[in-house]
């Protein structure tokens, strides 16, 4: 058991009812899990809790049996080996690809940074683009830079929040396939939130269906879809 989320509950300030209700799951090392749910079901909130950006009112998250989140700890995601990729990519516009990708490598010297930059740009197939600025790249290339930046510090867990929503249909499918291959090749455990059933099924080893902050169903993609459609 690699990641254990136990009985996580969360209220936003002034909210009348909890946004996340008794969320528990176990994720194995190298597994890709998708969290599927309608708008407002609490998907982004779960990611924010796992990332340590919000404190749960109850419950805990353990990685390798070590508590990384409970209602007394507030630690930045980078300090806990967690990388995040958001739907708007969040690249720094005034920095080149190389500067964006190496931004989080605080404890590395120049040679180590250059080596890691080459490794991750090679993984995302962007070796020729290190001197470009984000505005000189297509949406798909920007998405791959965001992935390279998240991969660079070698995180133990990667969190994705609707990472394909700004891509056109063809690119969407291509990047989705590439992303799954890269995650499987690197063996990084990943959690991926989406409202798109096709994405949730195509990318994940296991799926969780969230409804009003509660796990309604979970299981393998092939067993899940029929039941999700019935809900
Ligand atoms: N900062 C906040 N303060 C108060 N309520 C919030 C806050 N952020 C989100 N919420 C509420 O919490 C609930 C869950 O929001 P969340 O963003 O986690 O849903 P989601 O499933 O990711 O939705 P979407 O697919 O639309 O992004 C919603 O009802 C939302 O209005």
Give the containing element (helix H, strand E) for 85: strand 82-85
Q: Which domains does the chain have, with CATH numbers?
A: 1-76+189-221 (3.40.50.300)
What residue's CA is closest to ligand 1, atom 27? 39
More confidently predicted of 193 and 165: 193
pLDDT per residue over 142-161, tens digit each? 988 998 998 899 888 899 99
Please state the pTM of the whole predicted model: 0.88
pLDDT at 225: 66
Distance from Cα 42 to the centre of ligand 1, integer Å: 6
Query: Taking the alpha carbons of 26, 30, 36, 41 in that order, is the dihedral positive or negative?
Result: positive
pLDDT per residue over 14-49, tens digit each? 888 899 999 999 999 999 999 999 999 999 999 989
What residue's CA is closest to ligand 1, atom 11? 40
Residue 224: Cβ within 10 Å count: 22
Q: Which residues contact 82 (CB under 8 A, 6 or more apart)?
A: 50, 51, 52, 155, 156, 157, 158, 159
Torsion angle of alpha carbons 182, 188, 194, 199, nearest 10°? 40
86 Ramachandran zone, left/alpha/beta (phi>0; psi -120 to 50) = beta
- Atom index in ligand 1 nearest the CA of residue 213 equals 14
More confidently predicted of 143 and 10: 10
Residue 156: Cβ within 10 Å count: 17
Question: In this predicted complex, what is the ipTM?
Answer: 0.96
């Amino acid at each position: 058991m690699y990641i254990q989320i136990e009985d996580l509950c969360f209220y936003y300030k002034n909210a009348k009812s909890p946004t996340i209700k008794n969320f528990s799951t176990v994720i194995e090392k190298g597994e890709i899990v998708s969290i599927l749910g309608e708008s407002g079901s609490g998907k982004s909130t779960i990611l924010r809790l796992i990332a340590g950006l919000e404190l749960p009112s109850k419950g805990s998250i353990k990685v390798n049996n070590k508590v990384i989140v409970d209602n007394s700890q507030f630690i930045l995601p980078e300090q806990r080996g967690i990388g995040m990729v958001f739907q708007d990519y969040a690249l720094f516009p005034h920095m080149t690809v190389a500067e964006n990708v190496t931004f989080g490598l605080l404890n590395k010297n120049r040679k180590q940074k250059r080596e890691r930059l080459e490794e991750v740009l090679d993984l995302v197939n962007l070796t020729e683009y290190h001197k470009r600025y984000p505005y000189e790249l297509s949406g798909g290339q920007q998405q791959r830079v965001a992935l390279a930046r998240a991969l660079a510090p070698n995180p133990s867990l990667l969190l994705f929040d609707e990472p394909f929503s700004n891509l056109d249909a063809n690119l969407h499918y291509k990047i989705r396939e590439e992303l799954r291959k890269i995650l499987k090749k690197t063996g990084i455990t990943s959690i991926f939130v989406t409202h798109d059933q096709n994405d949730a099924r195509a990318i994940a080893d296991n799926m969780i269906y969230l409804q009003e902050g509660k796990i309604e169903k979970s299981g393998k993609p092939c067993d899940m879809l029929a039941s999700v459609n019935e809900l």
